[in-house]
Homo-oligomer: A and B are copies of this chain.
Amino acid sequence: MAKIISGQELSETMRSEIASDAAEFHSESGMAPGLAVVLVGADPASEVYVRMKGKAADKAGFVSRQVTLPPETPEDELLGVVAGLNADPSIHGILVQLPLPKHIDSARVLLAIDPDKDVDGFHPMNAGRLAVGDESVLAPCTPAGIIEMLMRSGYDPSGRHVVVVGRSNIVGKPVALLLLRKGRGGNATVTIAHSRTKDLGAITRQADILIAAVGRANLITGDMVKPGAVVIDVGVNRVDDPASSKGYRLVGDVAFDEVAEVAEAITPVPGGVGPMTITMLLRNTVDAARRLHAADAARGAFAD
């Protein structure tokens, strides 16, 4: 039976590190790291996420601000809110909760966020910095969380063959680019497979580290995993479960029970990658706060 890599436990450790960094930043700068979360509309799942992010930020000693706008908010008004947050020196991280209502062009909104406050890491400028291997980029939270899970569990990807199943812009491609960087958590040989890949099992069986990020319940079965591999399951899928009070339960992209028989280590769903995502959002916010404050201080010194 594989070792379980608990995102819950790693998150607790990391969040107490982040809280202590936030306190240090506060005492140096006179202000807490500030995170603004913008929610347009009343999607119940989005409301839950936004509340969780706000709570986690408060608990870490941040100032958190939630801006809630009605679903019919015009795009220009949302852009105005973003511009205000860009200009606000007490805000160091800005997150616009996706998905946005259909009448709003999400790409235009993400492009409007100051890249230095883009703690979600979705601005094209940050995607570009990530692509060229910049070590100080604000990287997307889920991919960055995967790297932390590997490093903190003793599975440094350097020199290993990592197979990423899924080529999305929020997980598959950015995690591949992080794994290719020349610094900490990088230097892996990386294969990216996806829906058009022929004989997926032949590819996944080569993986020393297998990352499944497709969104298809139980896609990765035991026969697709090399004995001794480390398996990171990013998928969160609902499957019918009459025994559950909700009528469904959440499962990953990996058939947990059979893969756990083969793998050296595996992340559970829930309690695996999920908790790491908000943790990395907090990490990015403290990092952004420090950098913005240092840049301000440098400008101040220059003006003297």
A126 interface contact, C-beta 8 A:
yes
CB distance from A191 to the nearest CB of B (A): 4
Q: Which partner residue on chain B sits nearest A167 by CB separation?
A: B180
Write out the residue numbers on chain B whose beta carbons fall within 8 Å of the beta carbon of A196.
158-159, 187-189
For A173, the chain B residues whose CB sits under 8 A away are 131-133, 177, 180
Assembled-state Cα–Cα distance A158/B194 (Å): 11
Contact of A132 among B124, B129, B180, B194 (CB under 8 A): B124
Say whether chain A's binding surface is mostly helix, strand, loop, or mixed: mixed
Which residues on B sit within 8 Å (CB–CB) of A161? Answer: 197-198, 203
Knowing A124-B132, A128-B125 are in contact, say whether A189-B193 is a contact too (CB < 8 A): yes
How far apart sit A188 and B193, CA to CA, in the bound complex (Å)? 8
Task: Point out the residues of chain B lying under 8 angstroms from A187, CB to CB.
Answer: 196
Tell me which residues from 145 to 162 in chain A have a Cβ below 8 Å from any Cβ of chain B: 158-159, 161
Counting CB contacts under 8 A, is A123 at the interface? yes
The interface centre, meaning the residue of A133, A188, A192 with most chain B CB atoms within 10 A of its CB, is A192
Contacts of A203 in B (CB 8 A): 161, 189
* Docked pose: A161 CA to B203 CA in angstroms: 10
Interface size class of A (residues with CB under 8 A): 20 to 34
CB distance from A3 to the nearest CB of B (A): 23
Fill in one digit per residue for A174-195: 1 if any B CB lies within 8 Å of its CB, else 0. 1011001000000111111110
When distances are taken between beta carbons in the complex, the residues of chain B under 8 Å from A176 are 192
Q: Are B159 and A198 in contact (CB under 8 A)?
A: yes
Determine which of B131, B188, B190, B191 lies in contact with A131 in the assembled complex, contact meaning CB atoms within 8 Å: B131
State whether A177 touches B131 (Cβ < 8 A).
Answer: yes
Residue A130 is within 8 A (CB to CB) of chain B in the complex = yes
Task: Give complex CA distance A3, B129 in Å.
Answer: 39
A275–chain B nearest beta-carbon distance, Å: 26
- If the complex has contacts A124-B128, A131-B127, A159-B198, are A192 and B193 also in contact, measured as CB distance less than 8 A? no
Chain B contacts for A194, CB-based, 8 A:
180, 189
- By a CB distance below 8 angstroms, the chain B residues around A177 are 131, 173
- Chain B residue nearest to A208 (CB atoms) is B198
A66 interfacial by beta-carbon distance below 8 Å = no
Q: Within 8 Å of chain B (Cβ to Cβ): is A169?
A: yes
Q: Which of B131, B190, B197 contacts A130 (CB 8 A)?
A: B131
CA distance A203 to B206 in the complex (A): 10
Once the chains are docked, how many angstroms separate the CA of A108 from the CA of B189? 30
Closest approach, in angstroms, between the C-beta of A122 and any C-beta of chain B? Answer: 9
Cβ-closest 8 pairs across A and B: A128-B128, A127-B128, A124-B128, A191-B191, A131-B131, A189-B197, A127-B131, A187-B196
A-side residues, CB < 8 A to B, are 123-133, 158-159, 161, 167, 169, 173-174, 176-177, 180, 187-194, 196-198, 203
Q: List 17 A-B contacts (CB under 8 A).
A: A123-B128, A124-B129, A126-B128, A127-B132, A128-B130, A128-B131, A131-B169, A131-B173, A131-B174, A159-B196, A176-B192, A187-B196, A189-B192, A189-B193, A189-B196, A190-B192, A191-B191
